[in-house]
């Protein structure tokens, strides 16, 4: 009877597959997979709770490869343990249409929990997943019934550590006491430019201890026993997140390139691959895994047993708490309460009837007061601006390290970390996060916004103080180009409402959207509620609609406006109407929603024959030429703002009803 394969032999299967795939593609990063293979073998075979037959099992452990350039490590693990990643998929690494992309892409292959590659964000995603686990456990677990009880594991490298987002995410994780989060630091001392000691000399151990982490230093990342003991130690500490600092050799096994930058981001070369096989004692051909190695890696039986045990616990929970069990499953499926549409529509109608003049940021808070009680999954937050963003509604309860049963997260001044953590919360499931900051500070979080869109995650991004209308804080705080930036991001829905009605409609859209993020952009200054009959009200959700027309039939000119500038457009149109002009005002709170409508509807709102068009928005003007054409006029900003009261600024930059009227007269 043959003995079971040694841990090193099992890890060498990862090394072989990784260097073979990179070599075949002649592109990729073999060094990290080869360096972290021993750590991965211990974690995945000895500790990770997962079931390859059901990658979406709700109580699985989450595994995040934050150093996503080492994607072949993850693909090898998924293949070896029995997920739907075939040998052919590995052979097609980095090829068009293959699920084994250059960096792990969420949704491309089963078992990939998040898209990683922009360094540090995977780590922040993992923090978000751990927050979600802690909140869901606090909200649903009962004495003797732990239906939410899993860990989040994250691999990260020097690049992740150097990125500023690691500071934001690690600090938040320590503050919130995320004891189910375990991060492995691949301390190999090498990045693309060579030995990192020339540009990265942080005392990482003391840095993370200062954040409130449990740190296990000086672990030999090539010793299965040391790694095993470190993980056991980490799992015992349920009050603090744990960082396991593993000393590894990048490109482990390569006689001439291990420990060097040459193994970081390029194929080893045919000759070096052959030498590495010999050095590792790996006597098998390219992409060849012997049966004894494959059988030892296969996780189907163990995974099925773990899920069956959880199902038994959940059945007992359901017998005692049937309503809670149904609510848990509803939320994990991402389904909204059955009465949400009815409640939302009733509130929208109330807003139209009340015709209240308020800042749209306040209208947003009022909407949360109306929607929140019927959406227990709604999880708010702000980057230290809750009182300004108005993200705190009447039913908010803050979470803390000691009590995570609430529904509001104080992210602190961490816009990037907040947004990436919210992506992780979305990916975990069971919660619908929204988070606020000033629109201009969206720039701090820009790449995480992009990642939400890329991953089709329904993150809700609340941005207030949306224009020069914020006034005296000046050009550093006044957004100019940010709205256009958001609108041009694929799969990001962007709304800039003009009043209470459009705000409530925008929130309804954001809550119902399940295939991507929504940016909600709100004003600081008060905005009047526009007149609408029922027919007009029904068109608000279409993103662009005829709000007002001063005559019948085909208009002579069209004014397109958003947000606070809709009031100016209406004033200008009324003055033109009094002078006998037939002018239409189109409110366009969401360009993407409008462009998703039928061509017939778009033509009805913006007839192609009407070439006399003016757009008005207190942001960068260039974006709007797509609707006005080069013959049209745009009233807006062509540079940065200034520090002064809002009314003075609008006059100074000539964004007034009179300017809109003059622009219309010039194009008719």
Helix (H, G, I), strand (E, B) or coil at 483: helix
Q: HSE of 464 in the Cβ direction (CA atoms, 13 Å)? A: 24
Cα 649–chain centre separation = 35
Tokens of 193: 């430019």
| Of 463, 319, 275, residue with least CA distance to 383 | 463
Reported in sequence order, the residue ranges of 180-330 that DSSP labels E, i.e. its strands, are 181-187, 190-191, 194-195, 214-220, 242-247
- Angle of CA points 637, 642, 648, to nearest 5°: 85
Q: Please give the pLDDT value at position 2.
A: 63
Tokens of 362: 């306040």
pLDDT digits (tens, 9 = 90+) for 356-399: 999 999 999 999 999 999 999 999 999 999 999 999 999 999 99
pLDDT < 70 stretches in the chain: 1-2
Cα 110 from Cα 101, distance rounded (Å): 13
Strand-pair partners of 620: 637
pLDDT digits (tens, 9 = 90+) for 484-505: 999 999 999 999 999 999 999 9
Q: Please give the pLDDT value at position 3.
A: 82
Cα 83 from Cα 344, distance rounded (Å): 41
Q: Please give the pLDDT value at position 1.
A: 46
Cα 551 from Cα 576, distance rounded (Å): 10
Length in residues, the chain:
668
Rg for the chain, CA atoms, rounded = 28
Cβ-contact 259, 32 below 8 angstroms: no
Torsions phi, psi for 485 (to 5 deg)? -60, -45
With 0-12 / 13-18 / 19 or more C-beta atoms within 10 angstroms meaning exposed / middle / buried, residue 302 is middle
Tokens of 453: 């869109």
Catalytic residue check, 443: no
pLDDT digits (tens, 9 = 90+) for 435-451: 999 999 999 999 999 99
Say which of 105, 272, 415, 567 is annotated catalytic.
415
**DSSP states of 71-131:** HHHHHHHHHHHTSS--HHHHHTTT-TT-SS-SS--TTTSTT--S---STTHHHHHHHHHHH
> How distant, in Å, are the alpha carbons of 158, 301, 353, 426, 475 from that of 423?
22, 31, 36, 5, 30
Q: Please give the pLDDT value at position 557.
A: 98
């Amino acid at each position: 009877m043959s003995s079971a394969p040694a841990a090193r032999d099992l890890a060498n299967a990862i090394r072989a597959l990784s260097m073979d795939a990179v070599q075949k593609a002649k592109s990729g990063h073999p060094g990290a997979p080869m360096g972290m293979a021993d750590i991965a073998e211990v974690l995945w075979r000895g500790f990770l709770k997962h079931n390859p037959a059901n990658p979406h099992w709700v109580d699985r452990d989450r595994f995040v490869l934050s150093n996503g350039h080492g994607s072949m490590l993850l693909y090898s693990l998924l293949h070896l343990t029995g997920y739907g990643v075939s040998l052919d998929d590995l052979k097609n690494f980095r090829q068009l249409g293959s699920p084994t992309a250059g960096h792990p892409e969420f949704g491309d292959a089963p078992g990939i929990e998040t898209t990683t590659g922009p360094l540090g964000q995977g780590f922040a995603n993992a923090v978000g997943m751990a927050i979600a686990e802690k909140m869901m456990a606090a909200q649903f677990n009962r004495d003797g019934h732990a239906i939410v009880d899993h860990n989040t594991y994250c691999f990260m490298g020097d690049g992740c550590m150097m990125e500023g987002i690691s500071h934001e995410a690690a600090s938040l994780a320590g503050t919130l006491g995320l004891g189910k989060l375990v991060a492995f630091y691949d301390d190999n001392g090498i990045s693309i430019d060579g030995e990192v000691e020339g540009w990265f000399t942080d005392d990482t151990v003391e840095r993370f201890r200062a954040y409130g982490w449990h740190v296990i230093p000086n672990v030999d990342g090539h010793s299965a026993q040391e790694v095993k003991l470190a993980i056991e130690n980490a799992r015992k500490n349920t009050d603090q997140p744990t960082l396991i600092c593993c000393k590894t050799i990048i490109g482990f096994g390569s006689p001439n390139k291990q420990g060097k930058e040459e193994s970081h981001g390029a194929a080893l070369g045919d000759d070096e691959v052959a030498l590495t096989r010999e050095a590792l004692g790996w006597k098998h051909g390219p992409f060849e895994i012997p049966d004894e190695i494959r059988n030892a890696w296969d996780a189907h039986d163990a995974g099925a047993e773990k899920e069956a045990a959880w199902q038994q616990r959940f059945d007992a929970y359901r017998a005692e708490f049937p309503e809670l069990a149904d609510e848990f499953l509803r939320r994990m499926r991402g389904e909204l309460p059955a009465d949400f549409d009815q409640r939302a529509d009733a509130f929208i109608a109330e807003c139209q009837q009340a015709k209240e003049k308020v800042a749209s940021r306040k209208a947003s808070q009022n909407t949360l007061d109306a929607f929140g009680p019927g959406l227990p999954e709604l999880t708010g937050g702000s980057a230290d601006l809750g009182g300004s963003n108005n993200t705190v509604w009447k039913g908010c309860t803050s979470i803390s390290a000691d009590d995570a049963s609430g529904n509001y997260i104080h992210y602190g001044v961490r816009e990037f970390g907040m947004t990436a953590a919210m992506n992780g919360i979305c990916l975990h499931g069971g919660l619908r996060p929204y988070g606020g900051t000033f629109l201009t500070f969206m720039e701090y979080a820009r790449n995480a916004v992009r990642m939400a869109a890329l991953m089709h995650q329904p993150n809700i991004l609340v941005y207030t103080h949306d224009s020069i209308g914020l006034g005296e804080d000046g050009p550093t705080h006044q957004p100019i180009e940010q709205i256009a930036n958001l609108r041009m991001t694929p799969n990001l829905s962007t709304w800039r409402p003009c009043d209470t009605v459009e705000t409530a409609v925008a929130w309804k859209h954001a809550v119902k959207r399940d295939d991507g993020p929504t940016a909600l952009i709100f004003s600081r200054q008060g905005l009047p509620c526009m007149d609408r009959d029922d027919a007009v009200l029904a068109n608000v959700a279409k993103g662009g609609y005829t709000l007002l027309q001063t005559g019948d039939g085909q208009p002579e000119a069209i004014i397109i406006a958003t947000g606070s500038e809709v009031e100016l457009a209406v004033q200008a149109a009324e003055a033109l109407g009094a002078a006998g002009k037939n002018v239409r005002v189109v409110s366009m709170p969401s360009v993407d929603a409008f462009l998703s409508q039928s061509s017939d509807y778009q033509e009805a709102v913006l007839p192609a024959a009407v070439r006399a068009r003016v757009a008005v928005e207190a942001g960068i003007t260039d974006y709007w030429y797509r609707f006005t054409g080069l013959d049209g006029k745009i009233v807006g900003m062509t540079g940065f703002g200034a520090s002064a009261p809002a009314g003075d600024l609008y006059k100074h930059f000539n964004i007034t009803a009179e300017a809109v009227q003059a622009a219309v007269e010039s194009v008719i």
